[in-house]
Amino acid sequence: MKIKELEINGKKFNFENENTFIFSHKNSTGKTTLLRCLLYSFGYNVPSTKGIRFDNLEIKLFYTSNNKEFCVYRRNNFITISDVHDTVYSMNIKQDQNNVLSIIYGINNPLILDNILGLHYFDQEKGWTLLNRGIVIGSIHFKIEDLIEGLGEVNISKFNIELKKLNDERKFYKQFLKLLEVQKEYEYSEYKDTDESTKSLTSKLRFLNIEKAKLNREIKEYLKIKNNNSKLLKFIDNSGIRIRTKSGDVERVTQDNIVGYKENQGLIDAQIERKKRYEYELQKEILNIQGKLNDKLKLVNIEDQLSKLNGILSSLATDEGSINEIINQHTTKISEINKKIKEVLYRSKITQKIYERVLRYSNILGVRGSIDGKSDFIYTSNLKRYSGAKLHLLVFAFKLALLKEVQNKIRHTLPIILDSPMTGELDYKNLKKMFKLLALDFKKNQVIVSSIYDLDAYYKWNKKIELKNRMLE
d(CA 445, CA 447): 6
Chain CA centroid to CA 375, Å = 23
What is the arithmetic mean of pLDDT over 240-264?
Answer: 79
CATH class entry, domain 2-154+348-466: alpha beta
Q: Would you place residue 332 in the very low, low, confident or very high pLDDT band (cuts 50, 70, 90)?
A: very high
Question: 190 pLDDT exceeds 50?
Answer: no
Topology, domain 196-307: Helix Hairpins (1.10.287)
Indicate the pLDDT class of residue 114, thresholds 50, 70 and 90: very high
Cβ neighbours for 382, distance < 8 A, ≥ 6 positions apart: none
**pLDDT higher than threshold 70 for residue 308:** no
The full length of the chain comes to 473
Q: CA angle, 224 as apex, 219 and 230 as ends, to 5°? A: 130
Of the ranges 35-49, 308-322, 344-358, 449-463, the best mean pLDDT one: 35-49
Q: Which of the given ranges, 206-210, 255-259, 424-428, has the highest pLDDT on average? A: 206-210
Q: How confident is the model at residue 196 (pLDDT cuts 50, 70, 90)?
A: low
Report the distance separating Cα 108 and Cα 111, nearest Å.
9
Share of the chain above pLDDT 70, in %: 91
The phi and psi torsions of 133 (rounded to 5 degrees) equal -165, 145
* Comparison of pLDDT for 290 and 178, the residue scoring more: 290
Compute the radius of gyration of the chain from its Cα atoms: 27
Alpha-carbon distance of 404 to 409, in angstroms, equals 9
Residue 304 pLDDT exceeds 60 = no
pLDDT band at 138 (very low <50, low <70, confident <90, very high): very high
Check whether 359 has a pLDDT greater than 90. Answer: yes
Which is higher by pLDDT, 61 or 191? 61
Q: Higher model confidence: residue 233 or residue 331?
A: 331
Give the pLDDT of residue 415.
Answer: 97
As a whole number, mean pLDDT of residues 338-366 equals 90
Alpha carbons 135 and 223: distance in angstroms, whole number:
37
Q: Say how far apart CA 355 and CA 436 lie, in whole Å.
A: 20
Q: Distance (Å, rounded) from C-alpha 402 to C-alpha 361?
A: 11
The torsion angles phi and psi of 180, rounded to 5 degrees, stand at -70, -40
pLDDT in tens, 31-45: 999 999 999 999 999
Q: Do domains 2-154+348-466 and 196-307 have the same CATH topology?
A: no
Q: How far apart are CA 162 and CA 159, in angstroms?
A: 5
Check residue 307 and give its pLDDT.
44
pLDDT at 2 over 90: yes
Report how far residue 395's alpha carbon sits from residue 424's, in angstroms, rounded to the nearest whole number.
13
Across the chain, what does the average pLDDT equal?
85
Nearest by Cα to 302 from 315, 288, 311, 293? 315
CA distance linking residue 365 with residue 63, whole number of Å? 31
Report which of residues 294 and 298 the model is more confident about: 294
Domain boundaries, the chain: 2-154+348-466, 196-307
Decide: pTM greater than 0.95.
Answer: no
Contact 144, 133 (CB under 8 A): yes
What whole-number distance in Å separates Cα of residue 233 and Cα of residue 238? 9
Res 195: pLDDT: 52
Compute the 3-state secondary structure of the chain and give helix, strand, coil in percent, each to the nearest 5: 50, 15, 35
**With contact defined as beta carbons under 8 Å apart, do 279 and 108 qualify?**
no
